[in-house]
Amino acid sequence: MRIFFLLSFISACLLAVPGQSGANCMAGGCHAGIAGLRYMHGPVGAEFAGVKGCEACHQSGGRACSGKKGGVWHLKKGRICGTCHRAGTSTIHSNSKKKCLSCHNPHGSATSSALLR
């Protein structure tokens, strides 16, 4: 299972083309800061490949996004990180009670493949 997630992530990153047009969260330049990260979280890379990766953590709270207007999105409730990271892509501290976002950036990192802040 871990191999599947790893291969999916690598495929999404290899297919990632910054500035790609199309109907996804990375189109339109709204998230240029995220799109420019050197190391991307799997769902962010998936957006570049045309998969709705943002929906792994976010849910629609209103109108849909478009290249000209942003949409309304909210974080899903609960332990979002654990949804995937306990299901085959775990790390040595995935079952920790610590707050993941205190150390990790959920979108990616310019300097760390561990997505450290």
Instruction: Determine, yes or no, domain membership for 71.
Output: yes
> How many CB atoms lie under 10 A from the CB of residue 47?
25
Where in the sequence is the domain holding 44, given as residue range(s)? 2-109
Q: Provide the pLDDT confidence category of residue 109 given band limits of 50, 70 and 90.
A: very high
Q: For 116, which DSSP code? A: B
88 vs 105: which has the higher pLDDT? 105
C-alpha to C-alpha distance for 5 and 33, rounded to whole angstroms: 25
pLDDT by residue (tens digit) across 17-31? 443 344 567 766 778
What pLDDT, on the 0 to 100 scale, is given for residue 111?
Answer: 92
What pLDDT, on the 0 to 100 scale, is given for residue 110?
Answer: 92
Instruction: Determine, yes or no, domain membership for 65.
Output: yes
Instruction: Determine, yes or no, domain membership for 116.
Output: no
What pLDDT, on the 0 to 100 scale, is given for residue 17?
Answer: 42
pLDDT by residue (tens digit) across 35-49? 889 999 989 988 888
Q: Count up the domains in the chain and report the number.
A: 1
Instruction: Determine, yes or no, domain membership for 38.
Output: yes
Q: Provide the pLDDT confidence category of residue 54 given band limits of 50, 70 and 90.
A: confident
Instruction: Determine, yes or no, domain membership for 117.
Output: no
Instruction: Determine, yes or no, domain membership for 114.
Output: no
pTM for this model (two decimals): 0.66
C-alpha to C-alpha distance for 10 and 39, rounded to whole angstroms: 11
